[in-house]
Amino acid sequence: MNSLKAVLGPTNTGKTHYAIERMMGHATGMIGLPLRLLAREVYDRVVRAKGEKAVALITGEERIEPPNARYWICTVESMPVHKRVEFLAIDEIQLAEDSDRGHVFTDRILKARGTAETLLLGAETMRGVLRDLDLDVDTNTRERFSELHYAGPTKVTKLPKRTAVVAFSTDQVYALGELLRRQKGGAAIVMGALSPRTRNAQVALYQSGEVDYLVATDAIGMGLNLDVDRIAFAGRSKFDGRRHRWLSAAECGQIAGRAGRFRTDGEFGETGDCPPFEEELINAIETNHFDPVDDLQWRNSDLDYRSIKTLIASLARPSGSPVLRQNPHALDEWVLRRMAEDEAIGPEVRGTDKVRRLWDLARLPDFRKSGHDGHARLVLGLAETLADPDARLGDTAMAKRMENLESNVPDISSLQHRLAMIRTWTYAAHRDDWLENPAYWREKTREIEDRLSDALHAALTLRFVDRRTTALLAGLKREDLLVTELSETGEVTVEGHVVGKLVGLHFEPASTAQTLEGKAVRSAAVTALGPILAERLGEIAGAPAEAFALTDEGHISWKGADIARLKAGPDWLAPRLELIGAEDAETHRKAATLKRVEEWLGAEMLRVLPTHAKLKTAETGSELQGMARGLAFRLLESGASIDLRQESPPPNVSKEDREALKTAGIRTGRVAAHIPDAQKPAAQRLIAILQATHTNESRRVAPEGAGSFPLDGEWAEAELNSQGYLRFGARAVRADLAERLGWEISKRRREADKPAFELPAELASIVSCPGDEFPAIVKGFGLAPAEKDPETGAVTLWRYLSRNRQDGPPRGKRPQGKPGGRPPKGKPSGNRPQRGGGRPNPREKQPDPDSPFAALASLLPPAKAPKPPRKKKKSKAKQAPEAAAKPENEAAPPADKTPESPPAETPTDKPETSS
């Protein structure tokens, strides 16, 4: 009686091992596996137990079938399901939902049976769909032998030994392999594009301990048994042949499950640019709980071969079951339709033999991964010769196809391409009805595939394992070849003699090279460095941001070596770049590298000087008009600040303009307009470098974090302002702190309510100034000593130099609606500059003649205007703010109380005061 059982569970549960042991317990058996590589591994194991004569291996590219074979080890697609065997197993049945191969797995699940026992092996997610198929299957769940834990993100260079890094593109695999070679001594490479022989050799390299790291695609997730302690995801999206998509949780779990073997626990986490795992996904992987499979890929297997049209129609016949979903994108069906449309082949092909022949050709696997169109051209070319069932490819035709595949090539990509082509012809050689002499060509294609596989393994090992840079042969006009090597420190040797050093992209010949064979040897070294430079340029073009740095000399370094320099551009915020070295490299490689460096510099300027970058690109500031727009433009030219004390006349900035400037990242006040984020140490350094590059003159950087510092007399005003500082006597004061000190001085004057007022010594701490230098800074605000201590000579009271006080820049005749202090004798109050500070005097409450309230004041009885303040002397303190409130709301704020002024309780040691 046939027993149908499903053994479900995650990786490392021993499902495949269990099935092999069950199979060998029967007289005959068959197992279908997802990969040719895994099939070969299981074949070798069963041969060791049962002998070569008892075991057959059947895959698309390999067929070993002894006459008296009792056990068949196959890929799922190649299973000879017509054979009667006691035991039959299908591994990794969850692949039945795969868009390319799924329909084959579904067909085997539904129809392939052993006479005594059938096992379906796969993930727990298949339990529900097996039940929906009404297969009368007994399900058995197996638990992992070890646990799986989330390890979090780790830099590639910090990954522990016995780690497999998983990436999803060839370029990314190679970049990671090269990084591990430089930092860790080497890594093995495993990709689906490699031949089984190459993959086995690379895995052996890792398993033997010769290297401690493995870089792989998601091919690692299926069937490879490795001693891996951690799986590090370098990405979580892949191109599946039609589109880029995120990995499903179950796919992540399948890959992560390769960490930990038998009783050894495993870890998984992120590295490189992989986005962080969500908490829900981490929990799903650790507990192996994923969304169930709802439906399977299906295709009708009861085909009508009377004509090509009836075959296509029968392939499209629906299943009639909601659980079995038809895939409209299958490659073989698409190629068959192209045959039907091709005038040289279809569409009127009739007869079972002819139609079967075309269908066999259409199912040729796309080993080259060339896409639908590229693969169709290959198949249609074959079909023109083999469309007739009696036609065969002759030896001459096959020899011509083998000719270009046998020659040796050194580079990895060419070897991979040739391996893909030879696998195509190996597949063809195992079709007895396609070739004139299939037995010969099976041997020939296998020999070529093995040779190419070994060459690819050697090339991968040379590139990703050797601690020294790839060895190069440089040919000279002599009988032998000189071996040129590049050490880890960049030292270039020819035949063991040092001839120079490769620093970044620049080759520096050594003086000792003169004693060798002169210019010929050095020329040979430079020529040999060509491939190394190309590789380095590619590495720089794909380097992350943290690999670059900007030096004080205006050079951009990569891994500590200068690779590019800044050059003067249209303005200091738009420098140009040029590479240092690599003069003889290919133009497109240099262009890609230069583009990456330019991208990094742009991002660095946006990070360090965000206000400048956004104003420069018009991301902000578009609403600025008039005076505000002019200030913003001048600040972009200056670098960090403008000294408003030097302006004549002072800029007339309205309240609305101040708010617009503040939104754009600019502050304006009594003595300065400045950009706060340009006064940080990193920004000051970058401004100095960029401006020095533009002017070709050296620029100094202000002392880091200094509120003020003594001037040595060599600081020009432009250089000082570019660092965000203003000159106050013999000392430079940071613009934002100068604004704070100015506000504090104005506040002390208003509180004193008299021309002479005290300035506490602690105010010097606002600008980090020594007490004996503080008077010189105060004088920079337009103040002079009003009274000194007769004994010490220290200033005890200060006063403004003139009635036009400097506690705020003069505002001109702009209507402000707020009366000033007492007018000069003999002059009407409306004809003098606004005082801009002090407490309002109710006795002098007279409208500005330019104010819109002046006309209203003239209508009032002249005797009544001064009465209210004389009757309410005791409420004088209350009337002052009330008298100022309405005009301040209706016009621009006065100079002593700008919107930028901090509240009185603002700590005096706060670096940013104007926000």
- The predicted-structure confidence for 94-110, as pLDDT tens digits, reads as follows 999 988 889 999 999 99
What digits encode the pLDDT tens for the residues 692-743?
999 988 888 999 989 999 987 678 889 999 999 999 988 999 999 999 999 9
Helix (H) or strand (E) run with residue 500 in it: strand 497-503
Q: 381: how many CB neighbours lie within 10 A of its CB?
A: 10
Of 88-102, 184-198, 711-725, 843-857, least confident by mean pLDDT is: 843-857
517 pLDDT band, cuts 50/70/90, is very low
Residue 244's beta-bridge partner residues? 239
3-state secondary structure of 307: strand
DSSP 122: E
For the CA atoms of 596, 602, 606, 607, the dihedral, rounded to the nearest 10 degrees, stands at 40
Residues with Cβ within 8 Å of 844's Cβ and at least 6 positions away in sequence, in order, are 819, 821, 822, 823, 829
617 pLDDT band, cuts 50/70/90, is confident
Q: Are 850 and 815 in contact (CB under 8 A)?
A: yes
CA 882 to CA 139: how far, in whole Å? 87
Of 496-510, 579-593, 858-872, least confident by mean pLDDT is: 858-872
Q: What local confidence, expressed as pLDDT, does residue 844 receive? A: 42
Of 490-494, 678-682, 894-898, least confident by mean pLDDT is: 894-898
Q: What local confidence, expressed as pLDDT, does residue 511 receive? A: 55
User: Looking at 731-821, which runs of residues are DSSP E strands?
Assistant: 731-734, 783-788, 795-800
Query: Which amino acid would we find at residue 365?
Result: P
325 pLDDT band, cuts 50/70/90, is very high
Q: What local confidence, expressed as pLDDT, does residue 885 receive? A: 35
CA 349 to CA 672: how far, in whole Å? 88
The rounded radius of gyration (Å) of the Cα atoms in the chain is: 41
Q: What local confidence, expressed as pLDDT, does residue 904 receive? A: 35
Q: What local confidence, expressed as pLDDT, does residue 397 receive? A: 87
What digits encode the pLDDT tens for the residues 370-428?
888 889 999 999 998 999 999 999 999 888 888 878 776 768 888 888 888 998 998 89
CA 726 to CA 733: how far, in whole Å? 5
Which range, 126-130, 179-183, 857-861, has the best average confidence (pLDDT)?
Answer: 126-130
484 pLDDT band, cuts 50/70/90, is low
CA 135 to CA 121: how far, in whole Å? 15
Q: Are 654 and 620 in contact (CB under 8 A)?
A: no
Own/partner long-range contacts of 651-657 (Cβ < 8 Å, ≥24 apart):
651/627, 651/809, 652/627, 652/811, 652/812, 652/814, 653/627, 653/628, 654/627, 654/892, 655/892, 655/893, 655/899, 657/624, 657/625, 657/626, 657/627, 657/628
Q: What local confidence, expressed as pLDDT, does residue 215 receive? A: 94
Query: Which amino acid would we find at residue 147?
Result: E
894, pLDDT greater than 50? no
What digits encode the pLDDT tens for the residues 271-304?
988 999 999 999 999 988 899 999 999 999 899 9
Give start and end residues of each alpha helix (H) in 514-640. 519-541, 587-608, 610-616, 626-638
Q: What local confidence, expressed as pLDDT, does residue 599 receive? A: 93
Structure tokens at 501: 């050093």
811, pLDDT greater than 50? no
Residues with Cβ within 8 Å of 371's Cβ and at least 6 positions away in sequence, in order, are 241
Q: Are 249 and 292 in contact (CB under 8 A)?
A: no
Q: What local confidence, expressed as pLDDT, does residue 880 receive? A: 37
Q: What local confidence, expressed as pLDDT, does residue 145 receive? A: 79
- Predicted model pTM: 0.52
**pLDDT mean across residues, the chain:** 81
